[in-house]
Structure 1
């Protein structure tokens, strides 16, 4: 019993394998429901756009404990369930099954929704996903993303027949062990059909690929990072040098603009291009010099340097894998005109 004046929490209702979701975006799609709920178990039915405002839905899991897992997860999570940025309220339904509705994920299409269980987002690369699924036919596009309890991918094939072959062969299977990092024990694939027919891929990156368009720009904010080190003659790790520096900026108490970075880095030579972007919640920049020698001097001198007094806007520098920046794909960038 609750003490006087304290309401019962909604997750103390009698559990059911059918969940009632409220405060959904208007005309929420079946696929959006599946993406929200599927990490917790197999979904056998949905009923969308319920209520006067069409902002409620019912989702039926194959097993009651899967529904309990989802309710428990969000009851204890600091982050609420969300669809299109709206907080979704979840409770057990009074009904124990959904009738007169089709099962989601069973209408064959050319795009598969793949949940990769037992891994973090960085454990399975998009190249590994492509290798596994291209064994069944030409893969047009791949988009990966993270949901509340899982890493997922959308994989577009030429037609539904090819997608169906891949699903029938791989659903419930594991990615071969030799393609996984050592710390990953196993990762099972749970595959359904997506409502998408043509994925909208704007950039090639470690999260998305369009194999039909070789001219699609690369998004350096998504793929750049410190390059792999090699071992020098003295036995110490040596970073491959480049004429482009990757700068991570800590303790951002003041704005760091392209002009500010140009002032700092041009003291060592001609700065050809600069690009600023956000990554992993922090600010980073790429600075291009004409040659490696100039970049090396700037890196050695400015590593750990604070742009502003008081320890503000501290620079950490490494060499980028880039050698010539395409500033058109950056939000905040400039190119020195000759």
Structure 2
């Protein structure tokens, strides 16, 4: 034991190439550490000013035998290790190598954090972002948001290599001018790595997309003009007929999927597209047929129909104002069926 009451060595510790030094002088530098340690072997890494008081450090030798030599020497020496006349306590470290922690943006990952400089949220659409980044590989998910740093996006690739390639090519570059609105002069990309590995996308919308899951519900704010039919002078609904039906589903005891809706509605003709979304706390869907006649037959037959026995998942149908669901976020299902 030393006169200060601190144990100078831990004899029971497992030897390591990394030496832990304590009780160092204030702001002890790497040169001083190397000067103390190099008589025993080659120093390949250091970590200075560790601990609350900045008076600890780690030194890594090239060989384990060199670290053992240093610890053994000072364990048996009558002269303690000293730097600037101050006694330094030496022991093996629990770590076997020194790893310098990088900032999160420097650690490669499969998700990129992209800051778009010189633009506001509405200036760059998620489709433009997808177009630019999918040039380097399949983009799984995108989430956009606004922070103090500006308009930003998280872009998830399948692996680190693809994300790294996109970052290497696009960091510091601008989105091509022809993809931007006329009032935007430029949009510079500043790209770092995100700590995320898998983005949690709950809705397809103009702010977020999951390109791996076409069955994800569509956020109603992403579908323009979905409204209940207007009322006529007699107080009854005036419904211009359409080839697209709007289905409201009540008594949702079971999940309603695209597959389930396709099974029900395709009994009356070919279903071209389906979108499921949440609105006002309930589940709704848009079902597109190739013509008004087919939609009208399906509407007449299925109004009040329950998808499941027992009165579960009851359908209430009206005509949508849409005639084609190619708006912002809806997914083609023709390739599936």
TM-score normalized with structure 2 length = 0.42
Structure number with larger C-alpha Rg:
2
